[in-house]
């Protein structure tokens, strides 16, 4: 069963400094201003969520608990060993 996703746009009255809108218009054009601002906002939201996650998980990793990954060479070896299983799992999860 597939789910239907409806993307509903909502109008909002926002106030911007003139110089910001002028730059947006130079880059995107006036006819694509809303799209440009929506995309920039999405990127900012993703960045803020990522930074919040980093802050919340700060200290979760300890070099003392992972001596097998002490050097760059150790990390390269670890990644080389793990990548095939990640690729296999990704291949199984992607629709054909």
Whole-model pTM: value is 0.59
Which pLDDT tens digit goes with each residue over 27-38?
A: 998 899 999 999
Q: What is the model's pLDDT at position 73? A: 94
Helix segments in the chain, DSSP class H: 18-28, 33-56, 72-93
Angle between helices 18-28 and 33-56 (to 10 degrees): 110
Dump pLDDT digits (tens) for 4-21.
777 788 999 999 999 999
Q: Are 36 and 28 in contact (CB under 8 A)?
A: yes
Q: Which two tokens stand for residue 61?
A: 């990793």
The pLDDT tens digits of the residues spanning 30-89 come to 899 999 999 999 999 999 999 999 999 988 878 888 888 889 999 899 888 888 887 777
Question: Tokens representing 42?
Answer: 């999405």
Helix (H, G, I), strand (E, B) or coil at 70: coil
């Amino acid at each position: 069963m597939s789910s239907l996703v409806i993307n509903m746009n909502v109008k909002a009255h926002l106030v911007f400094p003139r110089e910001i809108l002028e730059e947006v218009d130079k880059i995107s054009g006036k006819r694509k201003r809303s799209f440009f601002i929506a995309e920039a906002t999405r990127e900012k939201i993703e960045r803020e969520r990522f930074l919040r996650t980093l802050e919340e998980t700060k200290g979760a990793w300890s070099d003392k608990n992972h001596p097998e990954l002490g050097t760059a060479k150790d990390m390269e070896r670890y990644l080389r060993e793990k990548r095939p299983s990640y690729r296999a799992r990704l291949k199984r999860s992607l629709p054909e």
